[in-house]
Structure 1
């Protein structure tokens, strides 16, 4: 007998790989999607909300509450990633307009209500810059015990992608990331190392694009777009292959056995200059300089150092392709 679905909320800035993540979250029976909060990031906030509504329609989602949240970072001037995701945020994928209602409250209020009303602590899957969550934790500390954990797509142990040092979501709002990572809430940091490990080969992307299932076809179009815009990054193995990106973060909640985790303190570089937005992951053990004891055992952050990319991609593909069986938890 399968376990009860995991109650989750998603915080998104729906671009191409957020769309893949939404498809997985809606279609996989291991998750109970309670609400979706939107933030500006990959594209401006209004476009994020519209993309989210349309992708939920595509996935056949029930009427999940959606709310618009923070349109810009706490400090920085907003800089979107339309150079990766396209002007619409969904590459060349065109979806019909949606009639889904948007909640008449701020996303932070939707998150507060959802967390406090849920019968058990909720997992927050954070796929956007962490602005909404930082404001939530600062304004409403009463929700802290109602969060089972935050599983965030953001940061890196090594090189960044927005800059040499910083991953896009953290770079977009470093102050928000620092608030969340030092909040005391359990956090799983799913950074760039696992982000590029779960990949779909070119031939499988082509098969999805020929599917009779509109969700599979859309997934194929989104992956094909990612393959085209990231092929020069050198992070994905195989010509024409694409990483599932944010969808891997959702898969990590569905099946934590995919992950190789390491508990470690994480801080965010906030000073101006080339390291701004860098996640400083302290992987030391034992004694540091001057005999200072390192704090890995006390950290509430677990960093994903690696994952089983093949299994992760298959979990995603089985959920979005109607012709495949969804793996049991």
Structure 2
């Protein structure tokens, strides 16, 4: 599936579409490490979710390091991902805080310093951790071969759909997104204007026990998005958007998306921040 033979670090707020991306990437690439932040759920909940997915894909040895900074008081877990980011399917308790003092930011910096041009970073979460890592060690992050970010709306005109569903990762932390967009880092942006058109159906998940579990999880998420995306919520025609899995294909060199040169402004004109 991939022409990339290096190592990967994933920064995630492990919700439903993140889980599918982790499951795919954990089986087809050399994932060195994972960090988590708040977004779809809390950073500690995201860490528990990511560890569970990696265990189910026989990649339990991969280290998962959560962020410990608190989200703003205005933040709340996304209703489309449920209170635990996984739609309540797995009933996982949040991870415990690390006792060794390691943080998500230090995990990203350590990965970049070790991997250099042999490493790629996949950011499928608000860019809180990535921006902090860039401030801490800009040269290390710049040395990476590629950074793929699931965020932005390209140059597509604003619409009722965009204002409702929007550029979620930018909306959670627009200043972090703007910081990375203005940086010289080797970033490829995978916009929601691209990923919204990639819809998975029931047969995309296979017939393994874990595939069936992911199908149930994804169907619930897809049903919650159906009214705004315009596809069937149930029955044989149900679909689910493959946002973060599209970013995985770009990371592995199997596709492309808008590059950083075309994106520089966080548009707040409707009150819903979107990177363009």
Is the shorter-chain TM-score for this pair beyond 0.5, marking a shared fold? yes
- Matched with 1:32 is 30
Map of 2:177 onto structure 1? 177
Q: Distance in 1 between matches of 2:183 and 2:212?
A: 40
Name the counterpart of 2:223: 228
Contact 2:112 2:119 in 1 (8 A): yes
Of the structure 1 ranges 132-141 and 100-109, higher mean CA displacement relative to structure 2 is found in: 100-109
What stretches of structure 2 of length at least 5 have no aligned partner? none
Report the alpha carbon displacement of residue 77 of structure 1 after superposing the two structures with TM: 4.1
Kept in 2, the 8 Å contact 1:72–1:78? The answer is no
User: After superposition, where does 1:1-329 map in structure 2 within 5 Å?
Assistant: 5-28=5-28, 31-69=29-67, 71-72=69-70, 77-94=73-90, 104-118=101-115, 120-157=117-154, 158=156, 159=158, 163=163, 166-202=166-202, 204=203, 208=206, 211=207, 213-236=208-231, 239-256=237-254, 258-259=255-256, 261=258, 264-269=261-266, 274-280=270-276
Report the CA distance between 1:6 and its aligned residue. Answer: 3.0
Shift of 1:186: 1.5
Q: Deviation string for 1:284-326 (max 9, x for gaps)?
A: xxxxxxxxxxxxxxxxxxxxxxxxxxxxxxxxxxxxxxxxxxx
CA RMSD of aligned residues (A): 3.0
Please report the TM-score for the alignment, with normalisation by the length of structure 1: 0.72
Deviation at 1:99, TM superposition (A): 9.7
Query: Residue 83 of structure 1 aligns to a residue in which SS?
Result: coil
Q: What is the rounded CA distance, in whole Å, between the counterparts of 1:140 and 1:114 in structure 2? A: 11
Contact 1:78 1:172 in 2 (8 A): no
- The residue number in structure 2 matching 1:297 is none
Kindly provide the CA deviation profile for residues 20-45 of structure 1, in whole angstroms up to 9, marking residues without a partner as x.
Answer: 010011111xx210110100110112
Q: 1:141 to 1:94 in 2, by over 3 A?
A: same
SS at match of 1:90: coil
| Residues 201 and 240 in structure 1, CA contact (< 8 A), matched pair in contact too | yes
Alignment CA distance shift 1:222-1:6 (3 Å): farther
Offset of residue 145 of structure 1: 3.2
How far residue 147 of structure 1 moved from its aligned partner, in angstroms, is 1.7
Aligned-partner SS, 2:145? strand
SS of equivalent residue, structure 1 residue 180? helix
Could you tell me which runs of 5 or more consecutive residues in structure 1 were left unpaired when the two chains were aligned: 281-329
> Offset at 1:49?
1.1
Larger Rg: 1
**Displacement after TM superposition at 1:192 (Å):** 0.7
Counterpart CA distance in 2 for 1:235 and 1:194 is: 16
- Do the aligned partners of residues 144 and 234 (structure 1) sit closer, same or farther apart at CA in structure 2, a change above 3 Å counting? closer
Structure 1 residue 84 displacement after superposition:
0.6
How far did residue 64 of structure 1 move? Answer: 1.0
CA positional deviation for 1:105: 0.2
